[in-house]
Structure 1
Amino acid sequence: MRCLLTTQSQNCYREQIQKEMLTRLAWKSRYAKLYPSCYNPQNNSTELTQLPQLPADPWAVLPPVTRTPKRQSDLPPLSPPALSVEVTPAMRPVSPKTRQALYQDSSHHGRGRSLYLHRRGQMRPEEKFDFPLLSSWEYGWRLGDYTLDYRTPSRARSSVVKNTFYARNGVFSSPSATDILG
C-alpha cells in the first residue's frame, strides 16, 4: 500500500488546502481591480447574457459538393478470413469426480460448490496448471517431492540461526500448534 491515509498525511492535506485558500484570497485582494470577475453581486438583473447578433453575410456561399460514387466492382476484393489460433486453457480440466461434486447438493450442507472448492483447494498449483501463471509460483514450482526427503544435518549449527535470526519482538523460532496451514 503506497499511500496510507494516516494522521500525518491528513494534516499535510489540510495544510495544503489552507495554503491554497490563503493564496487565492491574497491574489483576489491584490488583483481584483485589474481582473474583474464575471459575477458582479451589485448587478442582480434577471436578464440573460447573450452574444451580439452578427448580420449574416449574403455573399457567403458554400461550394457544391462533387463526389463520384464508387461502384462495387471498383472496390478491392475481400481478403480471406484469417486463420484462428487456438489458445490452450491456462487451467487443466477438472476430474469427472470433482466436477460431479459441483452439482450434488447445495453449499449449505457442505456439498456442491463448497465441496468442489475444497477439493480444488487441496490440489497443488502444479496439479491444476501446466505452467506457473504468477511470478511468485516460479519459486518452488515442481519442488513438492524434493522437500519430503529433506532432513536437518545432525552436526549443523541450527541453534545459531535460531538465536541470531529471529527477532525478540514477536517472531518466535519455536513453531506453535496454530502455525499449521490448512
Structure 2
Amino acid sequence: MMRQLNMDTVQQNFWKEEFLREKMLRCEWHRKYGSMVKAKQKAKAAARLPLHLPTLHPKTPLSPPPAPKAGPSRAPSPALEVPEQPEMYPVPPATRALLYEGISHDSQGRYRYLNTRHRDIPEMRYRFPITTSFTYGWQLGPPVKQDMVFCKMCHIESFFRKNGAFSPLDPKDLAL
C-alpha cells in the first residue's frame, strides 16, 4: 500500500483519534478480562510443571500442633484463588451427540454439529469476548426481524425515460 505524503491536519487528526480509540479499547479489554486470562495462564503453566512426589519417611508418632497465635492474620488474595475456567462453555450433550451420527457428506455428523453450534449466540458459547471483533455483537440479544415496506410512490418501472432523452419530463418518471 502506498504511503500518503500529502496529509492535511484533518487526516492527521482522524488517524490520531483512531489510534487513541484502538488503544483505549485494548486497555478496557485488559482491565475487564486481564485477570481471568492471567489466572488461566498461571494454571496452564502449573499443569505443565513435572509432578514431584514426596519422599516417604518411616512413621513417627505425631506431636500435637502448636497453638495458633492470636495475632492478625492476612487473608489470601482473591487473585490467587481464581479457579481455572475455560474460554468456552461446555457443549450440551445433545449437541455433542450430533458429532457421532452419520457423516458430513450426508449433511450429518460434524456438518450438522457445526451448523447447530453456529446458530447459538456468542454469549451462549463463550464466557467473555475473546477478540475485539466480538465486542461489536456482544450482548445485543436476538436479531429483530423487520418487515420490508415498499413505497408504491417510489416504484419505477425502468431506469430509462419512457418519452426519450430530450422530451419534457413526465410526472410518472420522477420518484419524489
Q: What band does the TM-score fall into relative to the shorter chain?
A: 0.3 to 0.5
- Where relative contact order (Cα < 8 A, 6+ residues apart) is larger, the structure is 2
Give the TM-score, by structure 1 length.
0.33
Which protein has the bigger helix share?
A: 2
Q: TM-score, normalised by structure 2?
A: 0.34
